[in-house]
Structure 1
Amino acid sequence: MLGVLGDLVEDVVVWVDGPLRHGTDSDAQVFRRRGGSAANVAAFAAGQCPTRFLGCVGDDPAGHGLVAELTGHGVDVRVARRGRTGSIVVLIDDAGERTMLPDRGAATLLEGVPDAWLDGLTHLHVPAYSFDGEPVGSTAVEALRRVRAAGGTSSLDASSTGMLDRFGRERFLALAADLAPTLLFANREESAYLGLLVDGRPGPGRARPAATTVVTKSGAEATTIDVPGEAPFTVPVPPVGEVRDLTGAGDAFAAGFLAAFLDGRLTGGGLREAAARGHRCAARVLASPGASCASD
């Protein structure tokens, strides 16, 4: 079973029609969606493999609604109830690019993970957002160590350059080296910021942990996979018709990749197949508001 630990929040997605007009009105469409990188991964993965979400929401109407929505996707949801459920305002420009204004609320308040929440997990995925704040940061590190100690695998997602800059580049690299995840997902900007992969080549000093495979996404360009001890290789991204909202695309990619990675039926080209499934999964969200598909 795939476990995903991190944020479950409400996304207020704003599709801005044209440039923002400072100090006055700007035309827009507003959508309310389930959000949080970890919750998005869990929702997209649940249709492909057994999936459990671990997190914290408020004991409030927003928290109850988000848990019910995520459960409706087939996710085994385990949450603590503290504080106030978080929310994120996501501004989407005409090119589909996002500007996010997060108020994570209760998502940072996860303190301790009961043994029952980790029972049966063979892999634990944690977005780096979960390291930013306490007590959730210490809780995430402890959960990753417990899953690895039990013989499971793990993965991290670099999440965002803004978060990495706030958390500290060297601090994150040191934490990743200590946790030695099986996989580390990043987009091109995050990978370059961390010195993991620059212009398709491993960064100076090989910043990533020696045993970690780095998966660098690059939008419509090919995904690069850097396996320890091997030359990096790329997996092309099939053309996509409409791109209106990039929110959740990286989470959908991670969900498809991890579901394939954990699928024992994979052939020898496992990582290539995993990336290809990730691309197919990501393509489904690009025309819909927030981390949702047209069929949701």
Structure 2
Amino acid sequence: MLGVLGDLVEDIVVWVDGPLRHGTDSSARVFRRRGGSAANVAGFAAARCPARFIGCVGDDPVGDGVVAELTGHGVDVRVERRGRTGSIVVLIDPDGERTMLPDRGAATLLEPVPDAWLAGLTHLHVPAYSFDGEPVRRAAVDALARVRRAGGTTSVDASSTGMLEQFGRARFLDLAEELAPTFVFANRSESGYLGLLVDGRPGPERARLAATTVVTKAGAEATTVDVPGEPLFTVPVPPVREVRDLTGAGDAFAAGFLAGFLADGDLRRAAGLGHGCAARVLASPGASFGEPGETG
């Protein structure tokens, strides 16, 4: 079973029709979606493999709603309830690029979880957002270490350059070196910022993650997979007909990749499954496979 630990929040997705006009109205369409990077991965993966989500939401109606929505995708949802459920405003420009305004709320309040929540997991995935804040950082590091000790594999997603800058580049690399995850997922800017892949070649910090496969996404360009001790290889991204909203594409890629890896261990095939999963979210609002016409 694939486990994913991290944020479960409400996304308020705003499709802006043009440049924002400061001090007055700007035409837009607004959608409400269940969000959170970790919840997205679990929700997308559940169609391909058994998936469990672990996190914390508020004891409030928004928390009830996002838990019910994620459960409806077939995810085994394990949540602590305290504080106030988080929300993220996601501004989407006409080219599909995102500007995010996160208020993670209860997501940062996750305490170290009971053994039963990790029982049966063969892999645990944690977005780096869960390293930003306490007590969730302690809970995430503890869970990753426990799954490794039990013989499972693990992965970490670099999440965003903004988060990495706030958390600290050196601090993140120290933590990744300590955790030695099976995979680190990053996009090209994140991988370059961390010094893991620069100009298509292993960067100056790559040697620190000697046991970790680094998977670097590059939007419509080929994904680079750098397996320790092997020549790196690339997997092309098939053309996509429409791109309106990039929200959740990286999470969908991770979901497809990890489901493929857990199925047979073939990393080329896993990357291809990741691309196929990511392509399905690019025309719909937020991290969903819904129709563009569904308004919130």
Q: TM-score, normalised on structure 2? A: 0.97
1:34-87 deviation line (CA, Å, top 9, x unaligned) = 000000000000000000000000000000000000000000000000000000
> How far apart, CA to CA, are the structure 1 residues paired with 2:161 and 2:203?
16
**1:181 alignment partner, SS class:** coil
> What corresponds to 1:182 in structure 2?
182
Could you say if the C-alpha distance between residues 208 and 279 of structure 1 is closer, same or farther in structure 2, counting changes exceeding 3 Å? Answer: farther
> How far apart, CA to CA, are the structure 1 residues paired with 2:176 and 2:240?
33
- Give the partner amino acid of 1:294: G
- Give the partner amino acid of 2:35: G
**Which ranges of structure 1 fall in alignment gaps of 5 or more residues?**
none
> How far apart, CA to CA, are the structure 2 residues paired with 1:294 and 1:207?
41
Could you say if the C-alpha distance between residues 28 and 205 of structure 1 is closer, same or farther in structure 2, counting changes exceeding 3 Å? Answer: closer
1:1-296 matches, within 5 Å, as 1-264=1-264, 270-294=266-290
Equivalent pairs: percent with the same residue? 82
> How far apart, CA to CA, are the structure 1 residues paired with 2:113 and 2:144?
11
- Give the partner amino acid of 2:280: R
Matched residue count = 292
> How far apart, CA to CA, are the structure 1 residues paired with 2:112 and 2:94?
41
Shift of 1:205: 4.3
1:168-191 deviation line (CA, Å, top 9, x unaligned) = 000000000000000000000000
**2:272 alignment partner, SS class:** helix
Given that 1:8 and 1:66 are in contact with CA atoms closer than 8 Å, whether structure 2 keeps it comes out as: yes
Shift of 1:113: 0.4
Shift of 1:208: 4.4
> How far apart, CA to CA, are the structure 1 residues paired with 2:181 and 2:241?
34
1:183-203 deviation line (CA, Å, top 9, x unaligned) = 000000000000000111000
**Which ranges of structure 2 fall in alignment gaps of 5 or more residues?**
none
Shift of 1:207: 4.8
Given that 2:194 and 2:205 are in contact with CA atoms closer than 8 Å, whether structure 1 keeps it comes out as: no
Given that 2:70 and 2:77 are in contact with CA atoms closer than 8 Å, whether structure 1 keeps it comes out as: yes
> How far apart, CA to CA, are the structure 2 residues paired with 1:58 and 1:153?
30
Given that 1:196 and 1:208 are in contact with CA atoms closer than 8 Å, whether structure 2 keeps it comes out as: no
Q: Note the aligned Cα RMSD (angstroms).
A: 1.0
1:245-285 deviation line (CA, Å, top 9, x unaligned) = 00000000000000000003x5xxx1100000000000000
> How far apart, CA to CA, are the structure 2 residues paired with 1:234 and 1:205?
20
Given that 2:129 and 2:163 are in contact with CA atoms closer than 8 Å, whether structure 1 keeps it comes out as: yes
Given that 1:158 and 1:186 are in contact with CA atoms closer than 8 Å, whether structure 2 keeps it comes out as: yes
Q: TM-score, normalised on structure 1? A: 0.97
Given that 1:184 and 1:212 are in contact with CA atoms closer than 8 Å, whether structure 2 keeps it comes out as: yes
> How far apart, CA to CA, are the structure 2 residues paired with 1:125 and 1:175?
15
